[in-house]
Amino acid sequence: MPRPKHCRRICGMPARTYFKPAGVPLAVLEEVVLELDELEALRLADLEGLYQEVAAERMKVSRPTFGRIIETARRKVAEALVAGKALRIEGGDVAMERLKVVRVFRCSDCSHGWELTYGSGRPAECPACKSRNIHRAEEDRGPRFGGRGGPGMGRGGRGFGRGCPRS
């Protein structure tokens, strides 16, 4: 008898939960079901470009478990694309991660650090020394891919799961 599945952390619900080939009536399509944790694994590994170890930490699973999840997810998506099947996203033993509500900034001149809530805009200067040489704290930034942003990361930042905690 297999061990029970542990709850996996996801950062948000997808905007769309059903994809099908254009021009094919729904009644004649076979479906492939992609679970929410599998979609989250695809988002972390393929969209954000995280290493499996880091992505596994985010989902609160072991690295080997993450490897099995991402392998299954990729196989299901490939099956839907190659065989022309519909892809339905639903289910799975998941828990929604709380959204991060603050950003951490640091002054490059005096090393002062402070937090601001999302939506409050970028600070103009350091509150301690009034320097304009400020940046997001390294621990508060997402993965770097060389240059600005990364794969699939347009002007808006993180895409699906935006604001997801990095712990």
Tens of pLDDT, residues 121-154: 788 999 999 999 998 887 666 554 444 444 444 4
Q: Is residue 151 part of a domain?
A: no
- Low-confidence winner among 3-17, 41-55, 85-99, 148-162 (lowest mean pLDDT): 148-162
156 belongs to a structural domain: no
Q: Assess whether 66 and 134 both reside in one domain.
A: no
* pLDDT tens, position by position, 65-121: 999 999 999 999 999 999 999 999 987 766 766 555 567 889 999 999 888 876 677
Q: Is residue 147 included in any domain, yes or no? A: no
Say yes or no: 65 and 122 in one domain: no
Residue 26 falls inside a structural domain: yes
8 A C-beta contact, residue 86 and residue 17: no
Same domain? For 19 and 57 the reply is yes
Q: Is residue 166 part of a domain?
A: no
Judge whether 122 lies within some domain. yes
Are residue 63 and residue 119 in the same domain, yes or no?
no
Residues 36, 108, single domain; the answer is no
Final residue of a domain: which of 96, 123, 155? Answer: 96
For 20, phi and psi rounded to 5 degrees?
Answer: -145, 155
Residue 165 falls within a domain, yes or no? Answer: no
The mean pLDDT of the chain is 80
Distance of alpha carbon 149 from alpha carbon 136, whole angstroms: 14
Q: Are residues 48 and 112 in the same domain?
A: no
Write the burial class of residue 140 (CB in 10 Å: 0-12 exposed, 13-18 middle, 19+ buried): middle
Q: How many separate domains does the chain show? A: 2
| Domain interval for residue 86 | 8-96
